Amino acid sequence: MLKILLADDHQLVRNGIKMFLESEKDFEVIAEAKTGSEAIQKNKELKPDLVLLDISMPDKNGLEAAPEILTTEHKPKVIMLSMYLDEQYINSCMEAGVNGYIHKGADQEELIDGVKKVMEGISFYSKDVRDVMVNNYITSLKRKKKQLAQPKISLTKRELEVVKLIMKGYTSNQIAEELFISNRTVDTHRANLMQKLDVKNSIELINKVTEENLLESD
C-alpha cells in the first residue's frame, strides 16, 4: 500500500485529489495538511512514502517545506502540485530536488500516472509543465543562436578610454581634459559609440558595455 501525505490549504482541492488518488486500490491518503509546517510535522510522525505539496500555503509554502521533507530519514518522494505554469516556479522546484511537478489542471489519469512514475524512480512533469519547459528551452536556444549570429562589437583603444570615463561619470569637458583632446572629438567618439552599440543615451551605453563585457577584452 502506497502511503500518501496530501498538503494543500484548500479543503475542496484536497477532497478532489484524495478522491482521485484513492480510486487506485493500492493508494491511501494517510493524512492531510493545510500548511507547510503541518506537512513537515506529519511527514516526521507518519513517515509516508509520498508527499504531495501545494506550492502556495500559509506558514511555510511548498518550496520551503520540500527540502526539509526530502531530507528526513525515511526519504519520501515529493511531488509539487501547483496552479502556476511559470518557469521560475518550475526551476525553483527542480533546484529544490522534488521528484515531480503536476499542474492542478491535470486530469485524474495524469495524476495517477505521475505518482506511479515517481514511485518507480522516474521524475515526472505533467503535460502543461513539460510544454512550458520545452518552449522555454526553444526560446533560450533561439536567443543564443541570435547572439552568436550577431557580429562581435569591437571598440577602438580611444573609444574604450572614453567609455571608461563615461562610466566614471565624467562630463564631455572632463573627458576632453583627461585625454587631451577637443570637446568636438569627444562628441564624435560619443556619437560613434552610440551608433556601434545601438543605444540612445549614456545609461543605455553603460548597460550595453556591461552586458557585452566589452571592457574585459581591453
* Mean pLDDT value of segment 81-110: 90
What are the pLDDT digits (tens) for 170-204? 999 999 999 999 999 999 999 999 888 889 988 89
Mean of the pLDDT values across residues 139-167?
80
Residues 124 and 161 grouped into a single domain: no
Please provide the average confidence, as pLDDT, over all residues in the chain. Answer: 90
Predicted local confidence at residue 216, as pLDDT? 65
Q: Which structural domain, as residue segments, surrounds residue 116?
A: 2-129
- 125 and 173 fall within a common domain: no
**pLDDT score for 151:** 56
Q: Is 71 exposed, middle or buried (0-12, 13-18, 19+ CB in 10 A)?
A: exposed
- Verify that 81 and 17 share a domain, yes or no: yes
- Cβ proximity of 126 and 85 under 8 Å: no
Q: Please count the other Cβ atoms lying within 10 Å of the Cβ belonging to residue 60.
A: 17
One domain for residues 102 and 202: no
What's the CATH code of the domain at 72?
3.40.50.2300
